């Protein structure tokens, strides 16, 4: 514009930095989850406990029992991190809530990682309860349960990233909910059922699901002398998928926030 008197551009306010902003989002999301999602955490836990009780009649100990307990525990993570987070981001996007974040100078990664981390850590108590109950039910050793402190964040990152990406990419809110539900059903069927009884094709599909590696890592720790190398490898795969899926979610957020 030539008719404008050119004034020097006003200074820009500083951006929010990645980690402090992430911390602020994490704290806010955790408090949100506490207020609104506790009943759902109960649902998730009861669901997993119920599945284990049902499987008790089918499975008689050994590696199958380990797979059932590990799968049911990680299912709590899938329920909250994948399903609920997909719903949350779908709802946020449909309801115009993303505008709030998009008009704040906050890095997209802070919003996505903060929310994902909050949802993932919110699942920890439910996962622990499920695992302890499963160990008692099937008579498994509880000495290795500390591994959940690694399994929950790593599987949580992978599943939460996937959930956030689904919620942000789905063209409609209902589709986001549907995708979240389907993802959780996949985690349920492919994660809880012992792989020994699955057809080849389904085992392949199981390998594609990020939660599988968390389940495997956890299941291995029930062995008398666990193969720690294999556990570490499983967790590494989980972490790598987590990084990828969170990167995807961050990209999806950027895309959804500015249209």
Partner 1 sequence: MSTGTAQAGHTAAGATGDAVCVVRDLVKTYPAVRAGRGAPALPETRATDGISLDVRRGEIFGLLGPNGAGKSTLVRQLTGLLRPDSGTVELLGHDLVRHPERAARLLAYLGQESTALDELTVALAAETTGRLRGLRAREARAARDEVLEELALTPLAHKPLKKLSGGQRRLACFAAALVGERPVLVLDEPTTGMDPVARRAVWSAVDRRRAQCGATVLLVTHNVIEAETVLDRVAVVDRGKVIACDTPAGLKALVSDEVRLDLVWRQAPPLDVPEVAALRPKATEAGRRWLLRLPQDQARAAVAAVTGGPAFAALDDFTLATPSLEDVYLALGGRTKGLVRT
Contact residues for partner 1, defined by CB under 8 A: 1, 3-10, 12-17, 20-21, 23-25, 27-28, 31-32, 35-36, 91-92, 95-106, 110, 257-259
Cβ of residue 94: shortest distance to partner 1, in angstroms?
Answer: 9
| Three-state secondary structure call for residue 6 | coil
Q: Which is nearer to partner 1, 63 or 91 (CB)?
A: 91
Of 114 and 214, CB closest to partner 1: 114
Nearest distance from C-beta of residue 249 to partner 1, angstroms: 17
Between 100 and 204, CB nearer to partner 1: 100
Q: CB 255 → partner 1: shortest distance, Å?
A: 12
Whose Cβ is closer to partner 1: residue 31's or residue 185's? 31
- Identify the H or E element spanning 250: helix 228-257
Return d(Cα 211, Cα 113) in angstroms, integer: 18
Q: State the minimum distance, in angstroms, from the CB of residue 149 to partner 1.
A: 27
Q: What is the dihedral of CA 27, 29, 34, 37, to 10 degrees?
A: -160
Q: How far is the CB of 74 from partner 1 (least distance, A)?
A: 26
Instruction: Give Cα 214 to chain centroid, integer Å.
Output: 11
Nearer to partner 1, 27 or 204 (CB): 27
**Least CB distance from residue 114 to partner 1, whole Å?**
10
CA distances for 118 relative to 84, 111, 153, 191, 230, angstroms = 12, 11, 10, 23, 28
Q: Output helix, strand, coil percentages for the chain, rounded to the nearest 5.
A: 80, 0, 20
What distance in Å separates the CA atoms of residue 64 and residue 231, rounded to the nearest whole number? Answer: 17
What are the distances in angstroms from CA 30 to CA 37, 38, 119, 245?
A: 10, 11, 7, 21
Of the pair 2, 225, the CB lying nearest partner 1 is at: 2
Q: How far apart are CA 137 and CA 141, in angstroms?
A: 11
Minimum gap (Å) between residue 23 Cβ and partner 1: 8
What backbone torsions phi and psi does residue 97 show, to the nearest 5 degrees? -70, -25
With contact defined as beta carbons under 8 Å apart, do 126 and 45 qualify? yes
In the bound state with partner 1, the residue whose beta carbon lies nearer, of 118 and 145, is 118
């Amino acid at each position: 514009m030539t008719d404008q008197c050119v004034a020097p551009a006003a200074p820009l306010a500083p951006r929010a930095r990645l980690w402090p902003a992430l911390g602020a989002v994490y704290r806010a999301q955790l408090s949100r989850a506490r207020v609104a999602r506790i009943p759902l955490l109960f649902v998730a836990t009861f669901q997993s406990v119920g599945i284990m009780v049902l499987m008790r009649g089918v499975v008689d100990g050994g590696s199958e029992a380990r797979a059932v307990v590990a799968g049911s525990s990680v299912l709590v993570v899938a329920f909250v991190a994948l399903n609920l987070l997909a719903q949350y981001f779908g709802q946020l996007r449909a309801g115009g809530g993303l505008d709030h974040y998009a008009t704040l100078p906050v890095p997209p990664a802070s919003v996505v990682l903060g929310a994902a981390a909050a949802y993932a850590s919110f699942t920890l108590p439910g996962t622990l309860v499920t695992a302890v109950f499963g160990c008692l039910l099937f008579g498994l050793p509880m000495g290795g349960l500390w591994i959940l402190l690694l399994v929950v964040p790593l599987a949580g990152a992978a599943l939460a990233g996937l959930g956030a990406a689904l919620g942000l990419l789905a063209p409609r809110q209902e589709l986001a909910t549907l995708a979240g539900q389907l993802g959780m059903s996949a985690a349920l069927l492919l994660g809880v059922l012992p792989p020994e009884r699955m057809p080849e094709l389904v085992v392949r599909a199981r390998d594609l699901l990020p939660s599988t590696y968390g389940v495997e890592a956890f299941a291995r720790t029930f062995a008398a002398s666990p193969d720690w190398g294999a556990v570490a490898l499983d967790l590494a795969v989980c972490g790598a998928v987590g990084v990828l899926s969170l990167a995807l979610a961050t990209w999806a957020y950027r895309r959804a926030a500015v249209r």
